[in-house]
Structure 1
Amino acid sequence: MVTNNNIFKPGENCWVSSEARFATPLIDCANYYKALHSAIVKAKHSIFIIGWDIDSRIRLLRGEDEANSEAPSLVSDLLAWKAEQNPDMKIYLLRWDSSLAFFAQREMWAKEVWEEKTPDNVHTELDDTIPMGGSQHQKIVVVDDEIVFSGGMDVSTNRWDTRDHPVISDERKGPDGEYAPLHDVQMVSSGPVVKDFAELVRWRWERVANEKPIDMRDDADTSVSSSLPATWPSDYPPMFENIECALARTIPFMDEVEPAQEVRTMLLDLIEEAESFIYIENQFTTRQEIAEALNKRMKACPDLHVILVSSYEPKGKFECEAFWASRIEFKAILEKGIDPKRVRLTYSSIEDMQGRKAYKRIHSKVMTIDDKYLVIGSSNLSNRSMTLDTEIDVVLHGNSEHNRKYIKEVRNDLLAEHTGRKLEAMPPLFEQEYPVDALMHEQIAHGYVLTEVRDEVFTTTSVDNLFRAISDPEEPLISVPTFDGAALPARNPRRRSIMIMLGLAVIAILGGLLFWASHSISWLSADHINAFLEKSRGTYFALPTVLLVYVVGGILFFPVTILSLAVAAIFGPIWGPVYGIMGALLSSAILFGIGKLSGNAGLRKIGGPKVEAVDAKLKKSGIVGVAAIRMLPIAPFSLVNLAAGISSIGLWQFLIGTFLGMFPPMIAKGLVGDSITQIFRNPSVETISYLAGGIILWGLMIWGSQKFARYYQERKQNAANERDEEECAV
């Protein structure tokens, strides 16, 4: 029976009660990214993207769609292309600031990357206003104030997948290589609800940026009688029409903002409305209050059946002990005193005909209550999503036969995917006495199947522990007392502040080690090195000794000029430079290798886009660029070696450039070093003249290298400009 009465109570279980003229779910990321690409291409006025992450490296299109598209697929290129097409358009990107906990997956210097890749009408901010321990978890895109995307999906790494979720996929590649199948759900809507989202994203932006964004469009038609908007994504016809909806938020207490726990209240109220079947798919199920509500409702309604779909395997110790251990308790509360045929907590997995297994990672946040309500949002069934993170859920109410039919179809479609069935095979299962039990049986071999979770294979039931307190808290991790006796939650530390602190810590540690070495290692001084080299002069061990001194000195950041002068003073103006350049090349190669390993381990990422820009210039200038750097005393010898290893330049390019840049000054240093020795042994006008000549030659080489480097760079730039002009003329 259709009823127009819904449970929406603005100010209690929702922020606003509204209506969507059109709405349709976008299941799995391939569909969402394709739809998002289509909407961005059509945009003319403004784009707001609010997310846990917004990664500039993500390709929105794949396969034939990418090959046939005239617009760029890479999201950063697409937004830059769109902004350049229409300079009056405004694009706003608001991403959660804190990212060190997700170092391997997220772009470390997100703001700088976006600013470098996009024109001035693309604005980027990082949200650092969330209380410590919480996260910015709303995932919203508003296009031209006429359509809105909302749900569980970010434009982020390790998200893209298709609805068939193959065991092996060439396109499922992330920063750490191939990732497992991943399932998620987003929704696109139009009509009056878009205005509410447009207000929300502008409020979020203004709080962080301290500037007013572009005004809402006066001509945006968001009425219930409007036709399909111009920006509605191609290939995704609307499913729901004129459907009542509500927006429920979680807003933590931050910067004197009124907190809201509408998501928590809404979910509890929805469970109380269930009569026949509750379907839930959610990334995390740890909130005991939800398990208790489900159990209570099943006991009150003997005909009510519940099935939950979540993930199988935890990622890391924190997730295991915070979420999987808590899920053991959640499951026990949920099933207590209930016939097991009526309720199951499950995961979806596959073993194909080649015997390859895959476990589908569930990232979606979906709930259906009979055929009356459909929730598509960002909130997990966790403590943090109910109280500490920023969340937004859309709750659709089946206010017509048409809309109720499609709420049921969305549920059946999702369960068909997870059980390897066809959509038309689903309705008969719900007509049986125990539909949950029917779903679990007679699933198709070598397709996806649902299996009951047994989290004891990963961990044991535990009381509150450190992992849970940090990963799934209800309250901010740190609160700061105020003068009036209250407590204000501390913010998550800014990414820039964390990086500065880490940099200072590294500098302090290196400085402390060098200070300790200089006072504790007696041979680490110019006098001891000279004495050590002096003993090898005239022996077969002369060259190995010099090589050893350069390698050890390079690792300990000992000044190469002092080493070169010492070698020249001991071995003379001929063999001194020869031995010196061989030692410098060996030391350079070893430190280059250390830098390469460090860069691959993530040091290149810490450097950010500015380091990448320097890297590009170094790679472009090649051997001559390295030679110029070697001739100019602009950075320590060892630091240049490490930096070159982190960069993209090849080892042989680097060594040839090092030889060309260091050997001429090495000869000058040979003259200086040998002259100093001769002055002490036989002071005369001749030896003093050699010393002065060597110093002058050294200075002239530095001056000449500067001139040559500038000349070479200008010549290359002019040649590049001429090529560009010729290409334009053609």
Structure 2
Amino acid sequence: MSANSSIFKQGENCWVTSTASYATPLIDCANYYKALHASIVKAKHSIFIVGWDIDSRIRLLRGDEEEQSEAPSVISDLLAWKAEQNPELKIYLLRWDSSLAFFAQRELWAKEVWDEKTPDNVETVLDDTIPMGGSQHQKIVVIDDEVVFSGGMDVSTNRWDTRDHPVESEERNGPEGEYAPLHDVQMVAAGPVVKDFAELVRWRWLRVAETQPIAIREDAKNALDSPLPEAWPQMFDPWFEKIDCALARTIPFMDEVEPVQEVRHILLDLINEAENVIFIENQFTSRQEIAEALNRRMKACPSLHIIVVSSYEPKGKFECEAFWASRIDFKKILEKDVDPSRIIMTYSSIEDQKGRKAYKRIHSKVMSIDDKYLVIGSSNLSNRSMTLDTEIDTVFFGNTPENSRQIARVRDDLLAEHTGRELDAVSELMKSENPAKALMEGQIAHGYVLTEIHDEVFTDQSGINFFRSLSDPEEPLMPAISAFGNATPLRNPRRRTIMIGIGVIALAIFAGLLILATNSISWLSTENINAFLEKSRGTYFALPTVLLVYLVGGFVFFPVTVMSLAVAAIFGPVWGPIYGIMGALLSSACMFGLGILAGNAGLKKLGGPKIEAVDEKFRNSGIVGVAAIRMLPIAPFSLVNLVAGVSSIGLLPFLVGTFLGMFPPMIAKGLVGDSITQIFRNPSPETIGYLVGGIVLWGLMIWGSQKFAKYYQKRKEKQKAEGEECAVS
């Protein structure tokens, strides 16, 4: 094969062959997010974002850049700002639907959140077409059909980091707190290849969204000789110009779609082209077929060296036994009957002068073959990336001497980051007789260094078959269903189905506990509570007894009205309401605290926009809103307490509102309860009149609270509108 021709075979080891007029790597997330922000700000026609995740909370800019930017930094605010500025701009967000396994990190109600935060020209769909066990793993952004971003990075949590990867960073803060240094690689390109990406994202969109085909812009400037497009992030100069490339996909078996394993085929073909150095930077190395191909090529080509950089420690049991245990086998296969000095499988870590340690998490998916080929994509060297997930890799070919030099530069630049060296120093080391060995020698103390992996410290591989079958499968977890001669793959359960299922289970458990409590606690009845309270009347234990009844009654959702009437009937129209309100406040505070714990444990996330709407009402209405809710019998007493704890309202305003809302009706209930007692003891027109009067007073208070709440809400909205008008003027 000619040195000027590539191994690309369209329809065999790649989807399409193309050319990038301009391309450059974006190393680590701070650079990618900065570039993405700049391109979004310049967008005029369309924005497509396809991802494993698209999190509305992510800040694209940090520090001075964030403070000085006229455009919002948070991705949802930025897209809403662009969409409102230009109603003709169309924004399409396609995110993987299934996310139960990533509950702690991902927005469960992503579509509802995006729909609420953005105007109508921003459309969001969740991709639920992936077969059971697979994921939507492509990470693509196409802007104006002129600029494309693709690689290993999503707009997601626990991704942002700078190239120096400090041991500690306040900006590396995710849902579970500060996370370790994280490394990733994306590429940005312009030219003819953008049209291919534009076709791909539209194909994915039409598979999920109920819409008409979306035409690619005919006037898009993506010809080979076009200048840098306007949406190009100007702070990043192109490293490559007019470079040949190919796009390789993994597409699993889906409805009416034949599976595609172009990524698998192109990687095997690339390995067979290697002569000097294969550099691999990947999150996972578990695919034995790749290890076997590398081993064969090393035996066939004695001058070949292999450098692998991955992560140090696994996250959780599944990752440990599925991927780290598999990495042990990968390494054994790779090194079999080969001089071990020609191979290094490593991780990058640092111990600074203060003795603080950090292990860099590798999330990138990069491979270089000498200075001839460079892969930047979304595919891990795993079983699922070769067969089950949706993937897209861009393979660049060094078709000119300058582009070949730039491929080597990308490799050397990444190794310089991992070893704490200067770029020129790494370039010299890579020219040595044994570059793998040279890299490991003479590394600088207190900077990042490469260390050989020894995964046996994490796992003895005892559970590899079980965990691998769930976390790194080659086939869907459930077989396809055959009907009328056609096989239909079972999909991952939809997010909405999962959430409804969780809700039904939670309600069933709660109802079962209430039934169990009612049947198991013999005194949990109106008659026994009355008898229990009656025994305490006239003793020092009267108030503690009432407090205990309200406290226990609150936890088992016993009706507060029944308790209030019982207390009033036993302790009279004066002390009854006083004792009752004290018990109600104690029960409210305890259930409020339980709500705080539930919210922190994930109830806020589980409830999504619905909980946020209730939270907003509590926050806006404050004490008066709580008082109105207390006067109106619209929700169980204990449920209101729990929801308030989940919301953002403070405990003191909540208790003040509870007092103002419950004490006046409790006085009315006191008259009713005491009147009922008097009727039983001494029926007369007077006692019956007290009963009727109490009921009428109770009803009037409910009616009055409704009127007052509506009046207060209208007044507050009017004041808010006037304030906004003043701000505008």
Shorter-chain TM range is over 0.9
> Is it true that 1:520 corresponds to 2:533 in the alignment?
no
> Is it true that 1:238 corresponds to 2:224 in the alignment?
no
1:473 paired residue number:
473
CA distance in 2, matches of 1:572, 1:405: 93
2:35 paired residue number:
35
CA distance in 2, matches of 1:236, 1:214: 30
Cα 1:611/1:461, change in 2 over 3 Å: closer
1:172 paired residue number:
172
1:639 paired residue number:
639
CA distance in 2, matches of 1:37, 1:151: 16
Q: Which amino acid aligns with 1:331?
A: K
CA distance in 2, matches of 1:211, 1:720: 39
CA distance in 2, matches of 1:713, 1:177: 38
Q: What SS is found at the alignment partner of 1:533?
A: helix
CA distance in 2, matches of 1:536, 1:564: 16
2:697 paired residue number:
697
2:160 paired residue number:
160
1:220 paired residue number:
220
> Is it true that 1:579 corresponds to 2:579 in the alignment?
yes
CA distance in 2, matches of 1:558, 1:461: 52
**Does the Cα contact within 8 Å between 1:479 and 1:487 map onto a contact in 2?**
no
> Is it true that 1:50 corresponds to 2:39 in the alignment?
no
* 1:331-354 Cα shifts (integer Å, max 9, x gaps): 111111111110011000000111
2:555 paired residue number:
555
Task: Select between 601-610 and 562-571 the one with higher mean Cα deviation.
Answer: 601-610
CA distance in 2, matches of 1:256, 1:472: 24
**Does the Cα contact within 8 Å between 2:576 and 2:670 map onto a contact in 1?**
yes
CA distance in 1, matches of 2:130, 2:517: 43
Q: Which amino acid aligns with 1:435?
A: P
2:132 paired residue number:
132
**Does the Cα contact within 8 Å between 1:2 and 1:399 map onto a contact in 2?**
no
**Does the Cα contact within 8 Å between 2:291 and 2:333 map onto a contact in 1?**
yes
Structure 1: runs of 5 or more not aligned: none
Q: Give the superposition deviation at 1:431.
A: 2.2
CA distance in 1, matches of 2:167, 2:648: 34
1:253 paired residue number:
253
CA distance in 2, matches of 1:215, 1:611: 39
**Does the Cα contact within 8 Å between 2:321 and 2:463 map onto a contact in 1?**
no
> Is it true that 1:594 corresponds to 2:594 in the alignment?
yes
* 1:544-602 Cα shifts (integer Å, max 9, x gaps): 00000000000000000000000001111111101100000000000000000111111
TM-score (norm 2): 0.99
Residues 219-368 of structure 1 aligned to structure 2 (within 5 Å): 219-368=219-368
* 1:644-675 Cα shifts (integer Å, max 9, x gaps): 00000000100000000000000000000011
CA distance in 2, matches of 1:26, 1:467: 34
Q: Give the superposition deviation at 1:2.
A: 7.9
**Does the Cα contact within 8 Å between 1:295 and 1:336 map onto a contact in 2?**
yes
**Does the Cα contact within 8 Å between 1:96 and 1:127 map onto a contact in 2?**
yes
Residues 425-464 of structure 1 aligned to structure 2 (within 5 Å): 425-462=425-462, 464=464
**Does the Cα contact within 8 Å between 1:2 and 1:400 map onto a contact in 2?**
no
Q: Give the superposition deviation at 1:51.
A: 0.2
Q: Give the superposition deviation at 1:406.
A: 0.2
1:394 paired residue number:
394
Q: Which amino acid aligns with 1:76?
A: S
CA distance in 1, matches of 2:558, 2:530: 13
Q: Which amino acid aligns with 1:368?
A: S
1:682 paired residue number:
682
* 1:278-315 Cα shifts (integer Å, max 9, x gaps): 00000000000000000010000000000100000100
CA distance in 2, matches of 1:716, 1:83: 30
Q: What SS is found at the alignment partner of 2:483?
A: coil
Q: Give the superposition deviation at 1:485.
A: 6.2
Q: Give the superposition deviation at 1:728.
A: 2.1
CA distance in 1, matches of 2:463, 2:487: 27
Q: Give the superposition deviation at 1:322.
A: 0.7
CA distance in 2, matches of 1:267, 1:279: 13
Q: Which amino acid aligns with 1:644?
A: A
Task: Select between 716-725 and 491-500 the one with higher mean Cα deviation.
Answer: 716-725
Q: What SS is found at the alignment partner of 1:399?
A: coil
CA distance in 2, matches of 1:614, 1:528: 36
Structure 2: runs of 5 or more not aligned: none
**Does the Cα contact within 8 Å between 2:481 and 2:490 map onto a contact in 1?**
no
Q: Give the superposition deviation at 1:478.
A: 0.8
* 1:29-59 Cα shifts (integer Å, max 9, x gaps): 0000000001001110000000000001111
Residues 653-664 of structure 1 aligned to structure 2 (within 5 Å): 653-664=653-664
CA distance in 1, matches of 2:360, 2:630: 53
CA distance in 2, matches of 1:481, 1:645: 46
CA distance in 2, matches of 1:722, 1:48: 38
Q: Give the superposition deviation at 1:486.
A: 6.1
2:102 paired residue number:
102
CA distance in 1, matches of 2:23, 2:721: 51
CA distance in 2, matches of 1:617, 1:529: 35
* 1:326-383 Cα shifts (integer Å, max 9, x gaps): 1111111111111111001100000011110000000000000011100000000000
1:409 paired residue number:
409
**Does the Cα contact within 8 Å between 2:325 and 2:464 map onto a contact in 1?**
no
Q: Give the superposition deviation at 1:427.
A: 2.1
Q: Which amino acid aligns with 2:4?
A: N
CA distance in 1, matches of 2:633, 2:214: 49
Q: Give the superposition deviation at 1:484.
A: 4.5
CA distance in 2, matches of 1:610, 1:80: 21
Q: Which amino acid aligns with 2:454?
A: R
1:91 paired residue number:
91
Q: What SS is found at the alignment partner of 2:621?
A: helix
- Give the root-mean-square deviation of aligned CA atoms: 1.1
Q: Give the superposition deviation at 1:510.
A: 1.1
Q: What SS is found at the alignment partner of 1:426?
A: helix
CA distance in 2, matches of 1:102, 1:364: 19
Q: Give the superposition deviation at 1:514.
A: 1.3
Cα 1:463/1:559, change in 2 over 3 Å: closer
**Does the Cα contact within 8 Å between 1:418 and 1:448 map onto a contact in 2?**
yes
Q: What SS is found at the alignment partner of 2:512?
A: helix
Q: Give the superposition deviation at 1:6.
A: 0.7
Q: Which amino acid aligns with 1:242?
A: K
Q: What SS is found at the alignment partner of 1:228?
A: coil
Q: Which amino acid aligns with 1:318?
A: F
Q: Which amino acid aligns with 2:704?
A: G
Q: Which amino acid aligns with 1:525?
A: S
Q: Which amino acid aligns with 2:686?
A: E
Q: Give the superposition deviation at 1:613.
A: 2.3
**Does the Cα contact within 8 Å between 2:342 and 2:434 map onto a contact in 1?**
yes
Q: Which amino acid aligns with 2:412?
A: N
**Does the Cα contact within 8 Å between 1:574 and 1:670 map onto a contact in 2?**
yes
Task: Select between 307-316 and 219-228 the one with higher mean Cα deviation.
Answer: 219-228
Percent of aligned pairs with the same amino acid: 76
Q: Which amino acid aligns with 2:697?
A: L
Q: Give the superposition deviation at 1:428.
A: 1.9
Q: What SS is found at the alignment partner of 1:482?
A: strand
CA distance in 2, matches of 1:106, 1:435: 41
Q: Which amino acid aligns with 1:571?
A: F
CA distance in 1, matches of 2:212, 2:355: 57
CA distance in 1, matches of 2:332, 2:483: 45
Cα 1:463/1:623, change in 2 over 3 Å: closer
Q: Give the superposition deviation at 1:463.
A: 6.6
Task: Select between 506-515 and 543-552 the one with higher mean Cα deviation.
Answer: 506-515
TM-score (norm 1): 0.99
* 1:9-32 Cα shifts (integer Å, max 9, x gaps): 111111111111110000000000
Q: Which amino acid aligns with 2:586?
A: L
Cα 1:213/1:644, change in 2 over 3 Å: farther
Q: Give the superposition deviation at 1:442.
A: 0.3
* 1:512-558 Cα shifts (integer Å, max 9, x gaps): 12122222321111111111111111111111000000000000000
> Is it true that 1:78 corresponds to 2:72 in the alignment?
no
**Does the Cα contact within 8 Å between 2:28 and 2:162 map onto a contact in 1?**
yes
2:626 paired residue number:
626
CA distance in 2, matches of 1:91, 1:466: 41
Q: Which amino acid aligns with 2:299?
A: K
